[in-house]
């Protein structure tokens, strides 16, 4: 789609540019472990630990998951640079690069001892090392093609929002397509895609920015980022952080052509744009 738009001179300049890369991550899940050695594995909830390196560009985390397993991950802050796709493809991603990074992070402390013990229990071919890319694309659709999820907006995983937003896209897109019913003319499809983008863009933009800020807070090692971290973790009242979480959680889109799931929690839910077609169907059924 982008290639076609570019050839036709219709692609906005920002969409011709590469994704921004500021961090790299390495992740894995250790094979099942002995729960007498790792007592946290006996609990039926997750134990999560996150360590921010001092004087090193790394942060690392561990968390327990079902099946007596522990996931681990390391993030490295790179100098924020713009790399285009060809540069990324040329980078050496072979086992040698992985081993160099493993050597560097092997002795980092976790609540269970050195991180390396989990790396040793993770098959090497199941360890992933990727750049964390980010970009808000402006072009989300063209003719009968529409993009959702990372293809339209790739955000940093620091706030755990990438997959969430991909699913929210899917729900809102389904709502917009439902409303054009079986009348899938090019004009109606464009109207549905425009509506989809209009409904989603502000929310995605908000989560994109929040993920960027969160990455600076939890991965950043520049002095300004250390200051930001100090403010967030030491000075900002917990009540403000809590209020923000509640506010963000209020956006919970649902399929408007199905009976709505009741709100069983205590926090509010934002109202959604009703489906005209569904309302008409309900009214017709009651006549």
Ligand X SMILES: Cc1cc2nc3c(=O)[nH]c(=O)nc-3n(C[C@H](O)[C@H](O)[C@H](O)COP(=O)(O)OP(=O)(O)OC[C@H]3O[C@@H](n4cnc5c(N)ncnc54)[C@H](O)[C@@H]3O)c2cc1C
- In the complex, which residues of this chain contact ligand X (CB under 6 A)? 25, 27, 130, 149-151, 157, 160-164, 166
3-state SS record for the chain: CHHHHHHCCCCCHHHHCCCEEEEEEEEEECCCCCCCCCHHHHCCCCCEEEEECCCCCEEEEEEEECCCEEEEEEEEEEEEEECCHHHHHHCCCCHHHHHHHHHHHCCCEECCEECHHHHHCCCHHHCEEEEEEEEECCCCEECCEECCHHHCEECCHHHCCHHHHHHHHHHHHHHHHHHCCCCCCHHHHHHHHHHHHHHHHHHHHHHHHHHHHHHHHHHCCCHHHHHHHHHHHHHCCHHHHHHHHHHHHCCCCCCCCCCCCCCCCCCCCCCCCCCHHHHHHHHHHHC
Q: Of 133 and 225, which CB lies nearer to ligand X in the complex structure?
A: 133
Compute the least distance from the CB of residue 269 to ligand X, in Å.
Answer: 19
Compute the least distance from the CB of residue 132 to ligand X, in Å.
Answer: 6
Closest CA to 23 of 278, 248, 221: 221
Compute the least distance from the CB of residue 78 to ligand X, in Å.
Answer: 15
Q: Of 150 and 195, which CB lies nearer to ligand X in the complex structure?
A: 150
Closest CA to 158 of 70, 225, 84: 225
Q: Of 108 and 278, which CB lies nearer to ligand X in the complex structure?
A: 108
Compute the least distance from the CB of residue 286 to ligand X, in Å.
Answer: 39
Compute the least distance from the CB of residue 226 to ligand X, in Å.
Answer: 23
Q: Of 94 and 160, which CB lies nearer to ligand X in the complex structure?
A: 160
Compute the least distance from the CB of residue 164 to ligand X, in Å.
Answer: 4
Largest Cα–Cα distance of the chain, in whole Å? 72
Q: Of 25 and 254, which CB lies nearer to ligand X in the complex structure?
A: 25
Q: Of 45 and 223, which CB lies nearer to ligand X in the complex structure?
A: 45
Distance CA 163, CA 239 (A): 27
Distance CA 172, CA 176 (A): 6
Q: Of 33 and 204, which CB lies nearer to ligand X in the complex structure?
A: 204
Compute the least distance from the CB of residue 155 to ligand X, in Å.
Answer: 7
Q: Of 53 and 188, which CB lies nearer to ligand X in the complex structure?
A: 53
Compute the least distance from the CB of residue 120 to ligand X, in Å.
Answer: 20
């Amino acid at each position: 789609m982008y290639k076609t738009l570019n050839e036709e001179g219709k692609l906005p300049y920002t969409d011709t540019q590469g994704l921004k890369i500021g961090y790299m991550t390495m992740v894995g899940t250790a094979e099942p472990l002995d729960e007498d050695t790792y007592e946290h594995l006996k609990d039926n909830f997750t134990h999560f630990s996150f360590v921010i390196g001092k004087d090193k560009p790394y942060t690392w985390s561990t968390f327990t998951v079902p099946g007596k397993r522990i996931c681990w991950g390391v993030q490295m802050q790179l100098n924020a640079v713009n790399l285009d796709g060809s540069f990324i493809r040329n980078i050496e991603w072979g086992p040698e690069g992985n081993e160099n990074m493993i050597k560097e992070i092997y002795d980092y402390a976790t609540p269970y001892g050195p991180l390396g013990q989990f790396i040793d229990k993770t098959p090497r071919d199941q360890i992933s090392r990727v750049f964390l890319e980010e970009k808000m694309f402006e072009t989300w659709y063209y003719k009968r093609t529409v993009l959702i999820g990372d293809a339209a907006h790739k955000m940093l995983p620091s706030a755990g929002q990438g997959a969430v937003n991909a699913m929210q896209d899917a729900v809102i897109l389904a709502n917009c397509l439902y409303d054009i019913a079986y009348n899938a003319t090019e004009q109606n499809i464009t109207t549905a895609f425009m509506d989809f983008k209009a409904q989603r863009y502000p929310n995605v933009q908000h989560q994109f920015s929040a993920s960027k800020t969160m990455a600076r807070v939890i991965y950043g090692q520049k002095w300004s980022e250390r200051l930001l971290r100090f403010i967030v973790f030491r000075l900002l009242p917990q009540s403000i952080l809590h209020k923000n979480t509640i506010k963000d959680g209020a956006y919970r889109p649902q399929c408007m052509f199905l009976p709505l799931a009741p709100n069983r929690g205590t926090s509010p839910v934002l109202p959604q744009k009703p489906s005209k077609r569904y309302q008409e169907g309900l009214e017709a059924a009651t006549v």
